[in-house]
Chain A
Amino acid sequence: MATAVTAVSALQGALAAEDAAIFGYGVAGAHLSGSHQNAAEQDWTGHNQARDTLTAMITARGAVPAPAQAAYKLPFRVHDEASAMELAAYLEDGVARAYLGLVAVTDKQLRTFGATAMQGPAQRAAYWRGSTQAFPGLVS
């Protein structure tokens, strides 16, 4: 029998995705320059702010936010500007997918929060990829 997604587990999923993105932007940023590096710095800051928001939301529900890992496995080797941009898009896709998990919970406010929060990563993924997607966070 399928288990309903709980609010805390969905929030923890989003937090884990934000932590992974923060780590990943650290790697990507080292291979970017100019406007791309500025964009990566802005995105890194945004993910840090989102992590703080999620941490507070989990704590407010009486749970303990899962700590970030010291390092995360990257999906491919990042060695130049192109692969760094590809990594940034990959990270944003993952964050959008994690917020979409919040949209499946029964709490209406959390649903709305998740749906609104996933728009930022979807827009950033489109920036890094150079094209939009029909179904961010879902299998097309």
Chain B
Amino acid sequence: MTTPSLNPQDENLLRELAPQVLGSMMRRYSDFAAAEDAVQEALIAAAAQWPVEGVPNNPRGWLIHVAIRRMTDHLRAELARRRREAIVVMQDEQIAPAADSAMEADQDDTLILLFMCCHSALTRASAIALTLRAVGGLTTTEIASAFLVPEATMAQRISRAKQRIKSSGVPFSMPSEAERAERLSAVLHVLYLIFNEGYTSSEGPDLQRTDLSDEAIRLTRAVHHLLPDDTEVAGLLALMLLTDARRAARTGAEGELIPLAEQDRSKWNRRAIEEGVALLTEILPRGAVGPYQVQAAIAAVHDEAARVEDTDWPQILGLYGLLERMSANPMVTLNLAIARAMVHGPASGLELLATLEERLAGHHRLHAVRAHFLEMSGDLAGAIAEYRIAAGRTTSIPEQHYLLTRAARLTPYVLN
């Protein structure tokens, strides 16, 4: 016997409503942890009842109603406990909350929640978990399976994060104008990490893994919808779409990594590329270009090349130069070196790599890129040695396989 489950459309509806319902609860009760638990229970009840009884006429009201009931039970139990402990703090007004007097700003609530979940008081891992649960409406089980940790561990991580927010006294309100840019950039960073986690770990047979990339795209789309004028939000959404478009082509049948240059471009998702390019076309002329937009523009240049040899490397080189001026970090310089090698030849790339020796000492990426340059320049023995060093240092299994294969491919051409 199979339990009826929600169809994808209703599931999306539920996920969309989750942060709104939580926002509405936060306006009634100040206890974030308890409100979040109540909403989660309401979502689980909906997932069980809706497939049988049908989606209610006012799904949002239904969820709020159920969540309030759970919250009331919780507060009653809490009150009884306190009475037992003889610390009688009357909070009856919380049990029968006043109906919403103010107009509820559902949309703002989603944003406020995101600001809260991505707060700097939390570690990265906690912010990610809390965002997926409170804003994304994923269950703890789903999040745990996505990060390959036991469910109890993830439950604790989420509950710790909620306590942390509670004790840091972050109010449930929109941050001030002055704070907003900084808080938004923390939100975008968390969304970017969620996307990357999903994108880079999606390999062939791993179908049960909750699709974090899709979730990140969905959440970023929601933020873009709320802040349509923010060009970095649009830039991040474009970057995700343009990167995700290549997903089906980046791993082979055995889950092995296929480098960009060797991907079957017919497998790229044209619709995602078109959407990403359209977003960029709209925002780039507005000026004030930020790092996400530049990275999206680089992804767009790759995606628009029908064949690898059509890639407009001079343009990519220019964009990496721009990115380096915006946010100098050795990884950007490493990519700049790749673009330089593609435009001016491997010697030029190697020259730039030499300047990274100190900052990226021992990092496997430095060796992997050097191996590619040596291979390009015909120094196969040197390339093999560097591929092997890189393979020994990466902590990613698919990447290690890729690097070892790369070295092994060259060995027949080298005389021992």
Q: Is the pairing of A and B real?
A: no
